[in-house]
Structure 1
Amino acid sequence: MQPGDLVSGKYRLLRQLGRGGMGSVWAARNELTDRDFAIKFLLPELAQNRDALHRFFLEARACGQIKHPAVVAVYDMGQAEDGAPYLVMELMEGEGLDQRLERSGIFRPGEAAACVAYVARGLEEAHVRGLVHRDLKPGNIFFAIDDRGEVVPKVLDFGVTKATVLADPKFVRTNTGAVLGSPAYMSPEQARGDEDIDGRSDVWSLGVILYETLTGKIPYDGANYNQLMVSILMDKHRPAIELNPAIGEELNDLVESTLQKDRNKRVRTARELAERLESLCTRITGTPYPGFGARSRSMAPPPKPMPTPTETWVEVTPVRRRTSAAVWVSGAVFVAAVVGMGGIAIARTRPPVAEVASRSVSVLSEGRGRLVKELDRLKAAPPVEPSATPEGDKTEPATPVKNDEHVIEPDELPSAAPSAPAPRWTPGRVPPPKKNGQVHDGVTSPGF
């Protein structure tokens, strides 16, 4: 695979993030949504066993249903053009727990308890669905920086190892000959090769991780793989409190209960482990346990990117800087000013309803007054004498208005009627001559 290759017609490979015994991890961009993801490709030879491949996809589909912030989100799965199975996961920023231990050393007891408790809560969501990780180790716990700048531990590579151990034995080893997985964190039942592995195996692995975060050492070690397996099965480990007396008896006892070789005497579930660690964290810090996010600020992210040599599959970048309070205050003032100016402009553009109504009432009042005066004048006027009419005109003379007759109301007035009818002209009859030689009635201007 090379940068620029297109996988399944939508994932464009950008750059390789890491390479390990199971395959390689790439940063890729979905060209349909323009969103970046991390894609982990398994070795093509792991896909040659049909049963193992089928179980891998079943496990991946189940992992995609786990909705917990402590478990890396799985969005898609498929097979590349060369037959290599792949998982599409969220692309994160931060560092692995192994890098954190190498960079800053052991954790304070409260930090260690909070971290492992949070991871145990994520494993609880998986265990109730019948999923067992089987390869928990510091390299598979990643301190991711979320959008708020807080550090959140996440479990990586969930379910992959359980699918691969079902493959043909010749595929259980990497190209370097090392046993697939991390032997130092294997439970005794894994070391014996038991097939009925359940969630208590992950509880053991969390106990080893808790031991290491508190002491900086692993409880069991050996010169080679066989000696390590014998030590896990037969030897007694050194109590963590002997290496770090600051952890206290109560936390030391809980670590011991996770490292019981007989799984029936071990802490039974990830939920029980999480509850006991949360209770211890509350007593150690003196404050209620609100979740890892509120306590993770003390675990400062690395000042520079620190890539994992083999197993890192996430992009490591510096912490995003937060916007200062002054910038937010300035922005709020600017928005308030714009909103205020807009409100004033809208208020000024509204029609003056009250002013228009006042003017309308005034105009109507004035008109009514003039109408009343005109009616009074008509009542006081003398009777109109009948005017002379031409011969044959039958028009009746106007009748004077008496004071005791019906008073004329405004709506009874005629619109534009003359006080006396004009002379009528009958077709075929010559009109009377004009006086003083006028040609046009009433018009004497020569320019007409």
Structure 2
Amino acid sequence: MVISPIVGAFMTGMKVPAVSEVLYTGGLSEMIILLSIAASTAIYGSYRVGSLRREAFDAKGVGMYTLRKQIGTGGMGEVYLAEHRLLKRPCAIKLIRRDKVDDENILLRFESEVQATAGLTHPNTIEIYDYGHTEEGTFYYAMEFLPGLNLQEIVERFGELPPERVVYLLRQVCSALAEAHHKGLIHRDIKPGNIFSAERGGLYDVAKLLDFGLVKDNRPEKNSLELTMEGAVVGSPLYTSPEVVTGDGEPDFRSDIYSLGATAYYLLTGKPVFEGESALKVVFAHASQAVKPLTEINPKICKELEAIILKCLEKKPEDRYQKAEELSDALKELKLKEWTQEEAAEWWSDAEQFVQHEPDPEYASEDHLKATTILPVNA
């Protein structure tokens, strides 16, 4: 940019004597000096702005964590890819949304989620590293960063899953739920988007149960806070149980069984149990309409697996499996070929371009993050 006007002046001076005279009587020197000052100012200014941007980016953090990039958002909070400043360990940070800070009900639900999840140690439940409050009052917690995809994304991108793979994933979720139920905790928001299929320790299709944001403490010895409005339907309309809709009786562990059955229905058919023009129509369909058999949508599903899923989707809680262990045992008895790690590794190799990856230790560069495919995370 500095050279161009000087060259242009020379070329003009060669054709216009008056311009040439001005250049040779001090005009050229003055122009070079002014352009050099402008160039120096521009270069230094660019450098300073870039430095300030990097400093502002690195300063954006909570507690001992530096926030790198937003990777998800939801009704209760936002999720960021982050790094522990000392351990240099990548993790996911969940923050309460700033526009929800003044909502005490949301804050209580948010804190309930982290406290409930932190008490769970099953390998198929997402691990909580840390939680706290910032000086500004923002509540946050740090959890493991999961390389992979949630089951909602998998079905949307690749279609319904083979029965043996669904059984493999469901049994892991049943194990995670069993621990939560034994501790008196009801998840109340089980859905494909809250189950993650991750790579952990060199193993693929490791199921991780996420988002205990609607968890309810059902232990009789504690006076748990009811964190939803009286009469409100909690959970996701496509996967909510009939008793939650009708209010007939208190939802319990069997409500999670229903939601897990509805999730399995979606994984096997690519369609939810009930569809409708509005959330209200869908939730009342769960309470009043008969479930369409899975084999009418996907004939590849065996009758035995169909019977198990339909039992999970019974309208009356007493007609379903009463425990997550019972459902797991029923799935174990199926005469299906097993989903192997070789098959899982091959599937994930083919799906590589869509996978949410754990960044390398040197991932602090903003450019690297822009080049990484990060899929939405249910928050």
Do both proteins adopt the same fold according to a TM-score greater than 0.5, normalized to the shorter chain?
Answer: yes
Contact 1:7 1:80 (C-alpha < 8 Å) held by counterparts: no
Q: Separation in 1 of the partners of 2:108 and 2:160?
A: 41
Q: 1:56 to 1:12 in 2, by over 3 A?
A: same
Partner of residue 284, structure 1? 336
Partner of residue 77, structure 1? 131
- Give the superposition deviation at 1:296: 3.5
Q: 1:248 to 1:234 in 2, by over 3 A?
A: same
Amino acid in the other structure paired with 1:235: Q
- Give the superposition deviation at 1:300: 2.3
Partner of residue 395, structure 1? none
Contact 1:44 1:85 (C-alpha < 8 Å) held by counterparts: no
Q: What SS does the aligned partner of 2:197 have? A: strand
Contact 1:106 1:215 (C-alpha < 8 Å) held by counterparts: yes
Alpha-carbon displacement from aligned partner over 1:184-238 (angstroms, at most 9, x marks no partner): 0111122224673221111111101111111111111111122112211111121
Partner of residue 274, structure 1? 328
Partner of residue 119, structure 1? 173
Alignment of 1:184-203 (within 5 A): 184-193=238-247, 196-203=250-257
Partner of residue 24, structure 2? none
Q: What SS does the aligned partner of 1:245 have? A: coil
Partner of residue 264, structure 1? 318
Give the alignment's TM-score, normalised by structure 1.
Answer: 0.60
Q: Separation in 2 of the partners of 1:251 and 1:162?
A: 30
Amino acid in the other structure paired with 1:304: Q
Determine if the alignment matches structure 1 residue 246 to structure 2 residue 300. Answer: yes
Determine if the alignment matches structure 1 residue 57 to structure 2 residue 111. Answer: yes
Q: 1:308 to 1:147 in 2, by over 3 A?
A: same
Question: Who wins on radius of gyration, i.e. which is larger?
Answer: 1
CA-based RMSD of the aligned residues comes to 3.0
Moved over 6 A (4+): none
Q: 1:206 to 1:299 in 2, by over 3 A?
A: farther
Q: 1:45 to 1:131 in 2, by over 3 A?
A: farther
Q: Separation in 2 of the partners of 1:197 and 1:268?
A: 13
Partner of residue 157, structure 2? 103
Determine if the alignment matches structure 1 residue 211 to structure 2 residue 265. Answer: yes
Q: 1:229 to 1:204 in 2, by over 3 A?
A: same
Alpha-carbon displacement from aligned partner over 1:248-293 (angstroms, at most 9, x marks no partner): 211111111000010011111111111111221xx111x6x9xx86
Q: Separation in 2 of the partners of 1:81 and 1:5?
A: 14
Partner of residue 283, structure 2? 229
Show structure 2 runs of 5+ residues with no match: 1-55, 218-223, 356-372
State percent identity of aligned pairs: 33
Contact 2:312 2:320 (C-alpha < 8 Å) held by counterparts: yes
Q: Separation in 2 of the partners of 1:109 and 1:248?
A: 8
Contact 2:96 2:110 (C-alpha < 8 Å) held by counterparts: no
Partner of residue 26, structure 1? 80
Q: Separation in 2 of the partners of 1:107 and 1:232?
A: 23
> Comparing 262-271 with 99-108, which one deviates more in the overlay?
99-108
Q: What SS does the aligned partner of 2:336 have? A: helix
Number of equivalenced pairs:
299
Contact 1:212 1:218 (C-alpha < 8 Å) held by counterparts: yes
Q: 1:56 to 1:104 in 2, by over 3 A?
A: closer
